[in-house]
Amino acid sequence: MFALVVARRYLFSNPAQTALLITGVALGVTAFVFITALIEGLAIRLTADVTANSSHVSLEQEVRVARVLPARAADVQSVALVSTFQRRQIRAWGPTVALLRSQPLVSAISPQISGNAFLVKGEAVAPLAVTAIEPSALDAISPITTKIIGGDADLGADGILIGAQLAENLGLSAGQPVLFRTDRGVDRLLTVRGIFRTGLLNLDERVAFLSIRTARPLLRLPEGVTNIEVKLHDPGQAREFAAFLRDATGLRVTSWQERNTTLEGALFAQAQTGTLIQIFSLISVLIGIASALSLSANRRRGEIGIMGAFGVARRFIAAVFVLQGLLIGMVGAGIGCLTGFALCSWLATLTKADGTMVLPIVASEGSYLTVFALTTLGAVLASVIPARSAARLDPLEAIQQ
C-alpha cells in the first residue's frame, strides 16, 4: 500500500517531532494504565479487608410478624402473637447446607448459633456477642487460629476463645476460668482456651467463640442454628448468589454488599473518578495528535498541492494522514502499555516496614487491551480532521503559497 509508504516517510522525515508525538501518547497510556491498576487494586484491597473477617453471604430465618386472624364475628379480631423470647432459628438447616455444598461458587460454609451473653469476673462484667461454631470450621469464615496470641484454638467441651482487648479489660489469660452468663439466664463456668487479636476493636473486645455443642444448652437452642455463613471464591458474585439462595431456600439472605452500602458507594464514586481521569488523559493524547498532524499538513501544503496537480486522488492524500495517526497511535499505545505494566509491577514490589504494600496496585488490572484499542481508534479519529483539511487543499493555491 503506497499510502502507507508515504505516511512512514512523512513520519521519518521529522524524527524529533515523531518521537515527541509517540512519547506523548505513551505517557498518556502509561497514566491510564497506572490509574486503572491503582483503582482496581484499591477496590480489591478494600473488599478483601472488609470480607477477610466476615462472610460473603449470610442466611437467617425471616422475621416473624404478628398477623390478624379471621374471626366469625365481624366486630371481633384476634392476633397471632409472636414470641419475643423465642430465638429465631433455621430448623431444617441440613438441606440448606447440602444445597450450598453443591454450588461451585462456595468455598466455605459455617452453620452458627449467635447470641448475647456476659463474662463475669468478680465485680467486672463485659457484654459479649457469642458465635458458636463447629470446632473444625473455626477458620472457615475468619482465620482465627492464625491470630491466637495466647493458649490454643482447641475449644473442647467447656472452652471459650476471647479477644485480646476483652482479656485485658477483665484481666484474663489462657487457662483461667470465667463465669459465662447468657441472655437466657443460664450460668456456666468456662475455661479461656485461647486469646486472639485480629486488629479490629469490635472483634477483639466484643466477640467470643464457643463450640456448638457447648452453646446449645447455654443459649437454649437444642436443634437449629440461627444463621449460616458462606464464603465465595469470588466475592463480586455475592449479590447474584444471594438472590439465587433467597429464591431457593425462602430464607433471609444478605450479601456483604448489602451490609456495607457505604463502602459500595465509595467504590462506585472512586471508579467514576478514575474513569474521568482516564477520559481526560486520552483526550489530551488525541488533541496532541490532531494538533501535530494539522501542523504537518500545513507545513507540507506545497507537497500536497503538487500531488493534487499531478492528479493524485484526495482519498489517497487523506489516507496518508490517517495512516500517520494509526501508526503513531499503535506504536505509542504499545510502548505505553509496556511501560505502564513495568511501572505497576515495580510499584507492586514496594512495601512498608510492616510488609504491606506502599500502593495497593495490581499490575494485571491495567486494562491493556482496552487502552490499546481506544488509543489506536482515537488516534485514527483525531487524524481525520487534518486529513480532510489536507485533502481539500486547492492545488493551485497550495503551490502558490
**Tens place of pLDDT for every residue, the chain, 401 residues?**
666 766 677 677 777 877 888 888 888 889 888 988 888 888 888 877 777 778 899 999 876 655 555 655 555 555 554 444 456 788 888 899 999 999 999 999 999 998 899 999 888 889 999 999 988 888 888 888 888 998 888 888 889 999 999 999 898 888 899 999 988 888 899 999 999 998 888 888 899 999 999 889 888 888 889 999 999 988 888 889 999 999 988 889 999 888 887 777 777 787 888 788 878 877 877 777 777 777 666 666 556 666 666 566 767 767 777 788 888 888 888 999 999 999 989 988 888 777 777 888 888 888 889 888 888 888 888 777 776 666 665 555 655 55
Asked whether residue 272 is assigned to any structural domain, the reply reads yes
**Around 94, how many Cα atoms within 13 Å sit in the side-chain half-sphere?**
2
Domain span at 113? 89-225
DSSP 147: G
Please tell me whether residue 211 adopts helix, strand or coil conformation.
strand
Domain boundary pick from 225, 250, 275: 225
Q: Is 162 exposed, middle or buried (0-12, 13-18, 19+ CB in 10 A)?
A: buried
Query: Which pTM was predicted?
Result: 0.67
Domain count, the chain: 2
What single letter denotes the amino acid at residue 371? V
Which of 263, 363, 336 lies closest to 41 in space, CA to CA? 363
Range 344-349 contact pairs with CB under 8 angstroms and sequence separation of 24 or more: 344/33, 344/34, 344/37
Which of 26, 33, 46, 32 lies closest to 365 in space, CA to CA? 33
Asked whether residue 235 is assigned to any structural domain, the reply reads no
Asked whether residue 318 is assigned to any structural domain, the reply reads yes
**Around 202, how many Cα atoms within 13 Å sit in the side-chain half-sphere?**
3
Same-domain pairing of 391 and 269: yes
Asked whether residue 120 is assigned to any structural domain, the reply reads yes
How far is the C-alpha of 240 from the C-alpha of 260, rounded, in Å?
Answer: 16
Same-domain pairing of 97 and 214: yes
**Around 310, how many Cα atoms within 13 Å sit in the side-chain half-sphere?**
8
Same-domain pairing of 45 and 126: no
Q: In this structure, is the dihedral angle defined by the CA atoms of residues 209, 212, 216 and 222, taken in order, positive or negative?
A: positive
pLDDT at 382: 78
Same-domain pairing of 32 and 102: no
Same-domain pairing of 188 and 294: no
* Cα–Cα distance list, 296 to 14, 290, 333, 387, 400 (Å): 10, 10, 21, 10, 18
Across the strands, what pairs with 90? 225
Same-domain pairing of 304 and 181: no
Q: ∠ at Cα 158 (152, 160), nearest 5°? A: 45
Residues 6+ apart with CB under 8 A from 236: 47
Answer yes or no: are the C-beta atoms of 110 and 55 closer than 8 Å: yes
pLDDT at 316: 73
Same-domain pairing of 14 and 99: no
Asked whether residue 64 is assigned to any structural domain, the reply reads no
Please tell me whether residue 253 adopts helix, strand or coil conformation.
strand
| Greatest alpha-carbon span in the chain | 107
Across the strands, what pairs with 109? 230
Domain boundary pick from 168, 194, 225: 225
Asked whether residue 328 is assigned to any structural domain, the reply reads yes
Answer yes or no: are the C-beta atoms of 214 and 155 closer than 8 Å: yes
Range 271-279 contact pairs with CB under 8 angstroms and sequence separation of 24 or more: 271/39, 271/43, 274/35, 274/36, 274/38, 274/39, 277/35, 278/32, 278/35, 278/36, 278/371
